[in-house]
Structure 1
Amino acid sequence: MSGHSKWKTIQKSKGAADAKRSKIFTKIAREMIVAVKEGGGSGDPANNSRLATVIAKAKAANMPNDNIKRTLDKAVGAGNGDSFEAVTYEGYGPAGVAVIVEALTDNRQRTAPEVRHYFDKANGNMGAIGCVSWSFDRKGVILIDNEDEELDEEAVMMDALDSGAADFAPDGQVMEVTTEPDDFNAVVKALEDKGYKFLSAEIALVPQNFITLTDEGDIKNMERLIDMLEDNDDVQNVYHNWQQD
């Protein structure tokens, strides 16, 4: 499963994420606006499952409730002129690492060349749609905070499975719960109701297999590629199958 790799990524990027909190909130807000638009203008998560998913992601990222409310008010307001298009790019990082980039953009002619440039700069290459996505599965991924290691592993597992989760994997300071996409919102709510705190909660692309990089140049290029992509305002999510130590 993705727990080990995902948690290592969170550990390594936590300081950077704290420093970029405003950018993270801006990207989540953009996802909310699109979710409301695609949900027929509904700002009620009870009637808009995609919006409920984005709100769960926002809460796990510690986005303040006031920010969430302001974004929803903007999204359902008559004066909202924001228009974003969802686009996906696929390619290979150094040593053949599979990479998928999900973006929301108001200008494909700007975003595509920028993403291609990042791949080229990191000794990778952008490929055609479908070139790597076949090796990923879309799953709900919930990481439960166990930093103090006070949670009972068996109790959390039973709570997760009783809530409708598909799988459970503990890893010391974090416990990963995976769900089928259609079950994600219900599992999030059930675990929230039981008082669990999340490090992250999102529907993600989980790799079926991983690649370990041993060459220092490849490792630096892969880190550089991820940093460049995540720093781009249009990029929402970056998925890869690099198994980080």
Structure 2
Amino acid sequence: MSGHSKWHNIQAKKSKVDAKRGKIFTKIGKELMMAAKDGTNPETNAKLRDVILKAKAANMPNDNITRLLKKAAGDVNSANYEDMVYEGYGPNGVAVIVEAYTDNKNRTAGNVRHIFDKFGGNLGTSGSVMFMFNKKGQIVIEKTEELDEEEIMMLALESGAEDMTSEEEVLEIITEPEAFDAVKAAISEAGIEILEGEVTMIPNVTTSLDIETSILFQKLVDKLLEDEDVDNVYHNAEFHEDFEG
């Protein structure tokens, strides 16, 4: 096992933020509409299949998923959501990537810009921070007494993972995006419960924050995620060790 895991500093706050997002089902519904443009059969549409898995991971009831799929099938030709990416800087120069699904680019861009400005950041141009991140598959497994870390590492590497790191409470497996599905399937088929699994943006450099800036930056992230058009926020902040989120 090698490398410095970003799970604690970058992802530890994610579950807390997700728990605050009362509109997560609405956002997943938009993703379904986007994915359905390439076909409404999840067996032949990998993107749609991933969104359905995301919906289930968010504890969306199966009835809701079925209803959204029927709506997507009926509205597929009229769905006009666009996939947008915004790049910018938070306080202390933290690099931020915002992914959004929107039916009104002007509205979303204006909202995102306002939030950056309000919390000590600024919206940048395309490519301004993207080079600081690598697109990777990330699989997180909660440590238990029953798990054999070496066996999991061998399984992960043999199925195509590029690395595994051990944190205090979790194991983090990193893959290339193309290998993510195969590695995740191998782990699931071995009966190992996955705490979280997704293709994400992992920073290759981090920006350390003091306690005051950590608080301010978390407010920026929270406010971005509260916007119904925003789907994901990635950043390279390394929060102060005393920051509780």
* TM-score, normalization by structure 2: 0.87
Aligned-pair CA distance for 1:4 = 4.2
Unaligned segments of structure 1, at least 5 residues: none
Aligned-pair CA distance for 1:127 = 0.6
CA deviations 1:195-220 (Å, max 9, x no partner) are 22222211111111111102x33222
Q: Residues of 1 paired with 2:26 and 2:72: CA distance?
A: 13
Partner of 1:225: 220
Contact 2:10 2:236 in 1 (8 A): no
Do the aligned partners of residues 69 and 174 (structure 1) sit closer, same or farther apart at CA in structure 2, a change above 3 Å counting? farther
Partner of 2:111: 114
CA deviations 1:131-154 (Å, max 9, x no partner) are 0001111111111233x4432111
Q: CA RMSD in A?
A: 2.3
Which has the higher mean CA deviation after the structures are superposed, 49-58 or 180-189? 49-58
Alignment of 1:94-243 (within 5 A): 94-146=91-143, 148-214=144-210, 216-243=211-238
Do the aligned partners of residues 3 and 194 (structure 1) sit closer, same or farther apart at CA in structure 2, a change above 3 Å counting? farther
Q: Residues of 2 paired with 1:212 and 1:196: CA distance?
A: 34
Q: Residues of 1 paired with 2:145 and 2:23: CA distance?
A: 30
Aligned-pair CA distance for 1:87 = 0.6
SS of equivalent to 1:59: helix
1:74 and 2:71 are equivalent in the alignment: yes
Aligned-pair CA distance for 1:101 = 0.2
Q: Residues of 2 paired with 1:55 and 1:163: CA distance?
A: 23
Do the aligned partners of residues 3 and 82 (structure 1) sit closer, same or farther apart at CA in structure 2, a change above 3 Å counting? farther
Give the AA of the match of 2:63.
D
Partner of 1:33: 33
Q: Residues of 1 paired with 2:230 and 2:76: CA distance?
A: 25
Do the aligned partners of residues 218 and 15 (structure 1) sit closer, same or farther apart at CA in structure 2, a change above 3 Å counting? closer
Give the AA of the match of 1:96.
G
Do the aligned partners of residues 11 and 206 (structure 1) sit closer, same or farther apart at CA in structure 2, a change above 3 Å counting? closer
Give the AA of the match of 1:25.
F
Q: Residues of 1 paired with 2:3 and 2:110: CA distance?
A: 30
1:42 and 2:40 are equivalent in the alignment: yes
SS of equivalent to 2:65: helix
Total equivalences in the alignment: 239
CA deviations 1:128-179 (Å, max 9, x no partner) are 0100001111111111233x44321111111211222122112132111111
Give the AA of the match of 1:106.
D
Which has the higher mean CA deviation after the structures are superposed, 123-132 or 76-85? 76-85
* TM-score, normalization by structure 1: 0.87
CA deviations 1:24-79 (Å, max 9, x no partner) are 23222322221121x2x2322x3222223333333333333333333223222357
Q: Residues of 2 paired with 1:7 and 1:26: CA distance?
A: 28
Aligned-pair CA distance for 1:192 = 1.7
Do the aligned partners of residues 78 and 235 (structure 1) sit closer, same or farther apart at CA in structure 2, a change above 3 Å counting? closer
Q: Residues of 2 paired with 1:17 and 1:145: CA distance?
A: 18
Contact 1:149 1:173 in 2 (8 A): no
Q: Residues of 2 paired with 1:47 and 1:94: CA distance?
A: 43
Contact 2:40 2:69 in 1 (8 A): no
Give identity over the alignment, percent. 45
